[in-house]
Amino acid sequence: MTNVLVVDFGAQYAQLIARRVREAHVYSQIVPSTISAAAVSALSPGAIILSGGPKSVYETPAPSLDPAIYELGIPILGICYGAQLMAQQLGGEVARTGAGEYGRTALTRSGSSVLLADWPESSTCWMSHGDAIVRAPDGFVVTASTPEAPVAVMEDATRHFSAVQFHPEVVHTEQGQALLEKFLYHVANLSPSWTNTSIINEQVAAIRAQVGSERVLCALSGGVDSAVAAALVTRAIGSQLTCVFVDTGLMRKHEGDQIEETFTRQFGVELIHVKAQDRFFDALAGVTDPEAKRKIIGELFIREFEAVARDLAGAGDGPRFLVQGTLYPDVIESGSGHAATIKSHHNVGGLPEDLSFDLIEPLRSLFKDEVRQVGEELGLPGEIVWRQPFPGPGLGVRIVGEVTRERAEILRNADFVVVDEIKKAGLYRELWQSFAVLPAVRTVGVMGDGRTYAYPIIIRAVTSDDAMTADWARLPYDLVERIANRLIREVEGVNRVALDVTSKPPGTIEWE
């Protein structure tokens, strides 16, 4: 599989660059700027893209790149900071001109260009820079400029190096995606062969090679990710797979029924339904720290699977492999290499050290929208494929504070109301997530002629493409009013409703 490495210099758009490359049907992978030339060579990428970043090349310290990477003969595209760093390291000149450019900027072509072959003489690009390249390195031809960036685009046809001062990955740059495709197809000579079908075929082959004739367990949580992972592994090994649904008591309303309907009746998969509510609530008693809750839930999940494996071993060798629906954002957010740990996902940072299974994670390199596309290709029903994301620890991370049976039941009923009204309003597919949050505090209210002392519910609804960033959804006021009225009227234990208007960043989508 052809791989494009996106070198992350701390840019807010590094993930977006990776996604744009994938939209061109070429696989991409994000790597830290500290990666060595030897590590790059070992990955055998077809191309490298250097991302933007918040630093100046003149700052100390400033992110750099192993100079030996330029000697590997791999096509490279530098974007914004990546363009400036390339210019500086290859002998050009970057200056603090004191006249940066931010937002929409007029771009003017000059001379023959591969990247801008189909661009008009003047167009609009999206800039965000203070420094500017004022002299291109030897071997480069300047093919575009802006009022404050004399070297807005530079190209070296011999070494297959290119650099752009602006951001082609954002929609505000006219023909930005076309520029990226010119680099991928005509500079790096890569083919657009990474498709849903190729993903499925590659994973089916990898799973068969990894598993052989052994038995496999799959952790079904009710969410999109585990469902698609299960369907993909079923395609690969059929009856060797046993799915396990652990009912933690922290699932959405009617979760178990929907899972059984899909996987036992539609796919004919062997499904074991483990009712473990008591064990999860007992383990979470008195725990309020969100990271501790995630780790407890993650470990208990594994212990339940191990118990199932031991039971199955009574009839022969027990399953050695465990399938999980881990996604690329899970890996990034849980911290890897130089990435900061935002939160431990139960299926990444929450796994116990003494894990007795070998993991199969066929979706580990995919973003959520890519997973949905694969799910459709595999024939999963729309109500599963387009179900909004649900955290692995379930309602346990939507209860802010100690998790109890009472709070879980209140939140489950409240969450059902929120989602039900969102669906009735025709907004379910437009929103990335919409759900209820229960802070473990009680507030004073008045119902009828009496004083109440009950829980608040917070409505959380966000829009996003891949959960790496998100914006709060501007729900219509009449919809918010309907949700609030139903919550207070129908859900016992609730007397107050609030609306979360926080984006990501600075917040996260989930509250814990």
Per the domain annotation, does 393 fall within a domain? no
Together in a domain, 172 and 314: no
CB 44 within 8 A of CB 69: no
Residue 416 has what pLDDT? 97
Q: Does the annotation count 167 as an active-site position? A: yes
pTM: 0.74
Domain span at 66: 3-187
Nearest to 290 by CA among 439, 390, 391, 397: 397
In the set 101, 169, 255, 306, the catalytic residue is 169
Integer CA distances (angstroms), 176 to 24, 101, 167, in order: 12, 18, 8
Residue 449 has what pLDDT? 58
Together in a domain, 361 and 424: no
SS (H, E, C) 72-99: CCCCEEEECHHHHHHHHHCCCEEECCCC
Three-class SS of residue 265? helix
The gap between the terminal CA atoms of the chain, to the nearest Å, is 37
In the set 80, 125, 218, 243, the catalytic residue is 80
Together in a domain, 436 and 462: yes
Q: How many domains is the chain partitioned into structurally?
A: 3
CATH number assigned to the domain comprising residue 86: 3.40.50.880
Q: Does the annotation count 291 as an active-site position? A: no
Encode the chain (512 residues) as per-residue pLDDT tens digits: 679 999 998 877 888 899 999 999 999 999 999 999 999 999 999 999 999 887 788 777 888 999 999 999 999 999 999 999 999 999 999 987 767 777 888 999 998 899 999 888 999 888 887 788 999 999 999 999 998 889 999 999 999 999 999 899 988 888 899 999 999 999 999 999 999 999 999 999 999 999 999 989 888 877 788 889 999 999 999 989 988 888 999 999 988 787 777 777 766 778 888 999 999 999 999 999 999 999 999 899 888 878 888 888 765 667 889 898 888 877 765 544 333 333 334 444 445 566 677 889 999 989 888 999 999 999 888 888 888 988 889 999 999 999 999 999 999 999 999 999 999 999 999 999 999 999 999 887 766 656 677 899 999 999 987 677 789 999 999 999 999 999 999 999 999 999 999 999 888 899 98
Together in a domain, 67 and 145: yes
Nearest to 369 by CA among 327, 414, 306: 327
In the set 101, 129, 160, 167, the catalytic residue is 167
Residue 317 has what pLDDT? 65
Together in a domain, 36 and 171: yes
Together in a domain, 222 and 361: yes
Residue 475 has what pLDDT? 97
| Sheet with 149-156: strands ordered across | 27-32, 3-8, 47-50, 76-79, 161-164, 149-156, 141-146, 101-109, 122-129
